[in-house]
Amino acid sequence: MESMVWNLVLSFAISILGWVLREKSAELNRVTILLNRTREEIAKEYVTKVEVHADINRVMNRLEVLDAKLDRLIESNRVRGI
């Protein structure tokens, strides 16, 4: 009789432990999915180093063109005596 009670207690304890572990596993899976979605969203919003360098190079090239045009304008005004 004592072993039957002990078996019932152990079965009940193990079933509760299994239920808790299953719930924790489901929660961990949910958090993992949310983390992956967050990483994807962050990647959509931010630029990479390559993109930043390309944009900066484009801006610098335009500034160099404008600088050259200003130099030509200033030089032409000096030649005219303005």
The whole-number pLDDT of residue 16 equals 93
Specify the residue for token string 């596993």: 25
pLDDT over 70 percentage in the chain: 99
Specify the residue for token string 């030089």: 75
Q: Is the pLDDT of residue 40 over 90?
A: no
**DSSP state letters, 16-66:** HHHHHHHHHHHHHHHHHHHHHHHHHHHHHHS--HHHHHHHHHHHHHHHHHH
Q: What is the mean pLDDT of residues 38-48?
A: 82
Q: Is the pTM of this model over 0.85?
A: no
Residues in CB range of 9: below 8 A, 6 or more apart: none
Chain segment 53-71, per-residue pLDDT in tens: 999 999 999 999 999 999 9
Residues in CB range of 55: below 8 A, 6 or more apart: 47
